[in-house]
Amino acid sequence: MLKRQWQSGVRITLTAVLILGGLAVAPADAQVVRVSRGEARNLVGFNLGYFMLRGEDSRGGDEREDVLLADLDDLLFEIGDFNGATVNGEWVYGISDYLEVAAGIGFYQKTVPSIYRDFEDSDGTEIEQDLKLRIVPITATVRFLPLPRGSAVEPYIGGGIGIYNWRYSETGEFIDFNDNSIFRDTFSADGTEVGPVIVAGLRFPVGDVWTIGGEYRWQRAEGDTNMAESGLLADKIDLGGQSIGFTFHFRF
């Protein structure tokens, strides 16, 4: 009887040892097959930032070449009033440890109130308008990483091509200087232009899956407002500018 109990106890103990050994080995095996952050090739994420339209002193000397410069002759506003929030989503693929390609789409829109600088209505009220600009950039870029992907910090710089879908409108009250009458109307133009884009940024890996960071982006494009049809005061609109933003990515 004692012998059978001893044999049974030995079997139970051996079984427990095997089970515990298997549990100890399992995490080690999982760590062997787990993909590290340096091996992950794809990143999907977004950029929440602040877009700054090119300033008045950078938009050219001829007011007929830019509708915002032309508007400044009579309307009271500032080019800087168009600065505002922008959001971008993108997919990034690592070709190698030091080279990436990326494709993204963004959205920016800002409405700026304005009034006539030197004129009022007959009852003394201001003659008001809303100036509205929207830009939807679709970009494709190539990026170089001075440090390999998976490093404690991942700086990058690159450039590429942007396709900029845009719309500009002026809505409100306007003066007909032929007879000084005031009327309400909307003047607008839209289109799609192609231009360069430059990016530079830093990413900080958070574990093996997430990254956070910051990015600077510069863009240049010029839209054709078709002055004769739109009724706007110039033939072009400068869509160029720069943005800074916070980035957040998921890597896999």
User: For 233-247, how does the pLDDT look when each residue is reduced to its tens digit (9 = 90+)?
Assistant: 999 999 999 999 999
pLDDT of residue 195: 98
Q: Which CATH class is domain 37-251?
A: mainly beta
Token pair for 246: 């916070």
CA 245 remoteness from chain centre: 7
pLDDT in tens, 100-159: 999 999 999 999 999 999 999 989 999 999 999 999 999 999 999 999 988 999 999 999
What number of other Cβ atoms are within 10 A of residue 47's Cβ? 24
Contact 47, 246 (CB under 8 A): yes
β-pair partners for 188: 169
Nearest to 244 by CA among 221, 219, 214, 220: 214
- How many CB atoms are closer than 10 A to CB 240? 16
Q: Give per-residue pLDDT as tens, 30-87.
A: 343 445 555 789 999 999 999 999 999 888 656 568 999 999 999 999 999 999 999 9
Per-residue pLDDT tens over the stretch 165-194:
999 999 999 999 999 899 999 999 999 999
- Residues 53 and 80: their CA atoms lie apart, in Å, by 7
**How far apart, in whole angstroms, are the C-alpha atoms of residue 4 and residue 145?**
68
Task: State the amino acid at position 10 in one-letter form.
Answer: V
Residue ranges covered by each domain of the chain = 1-34, 37-251
Tally of CB atoms within 10 A around 84: 15
Neighbouring CB atoms inside 10 A of 117's CB total 11
Task: Give the Cα separation of 188 and 226 in Å (integer).
Answer: 10
Q: Going by C-beta distance under 8 Å and a sequence separation of 6 or more, which residues neighbour residue 251?
A: 37, 40, 42, 43, 205, 208, 209, 210, 211
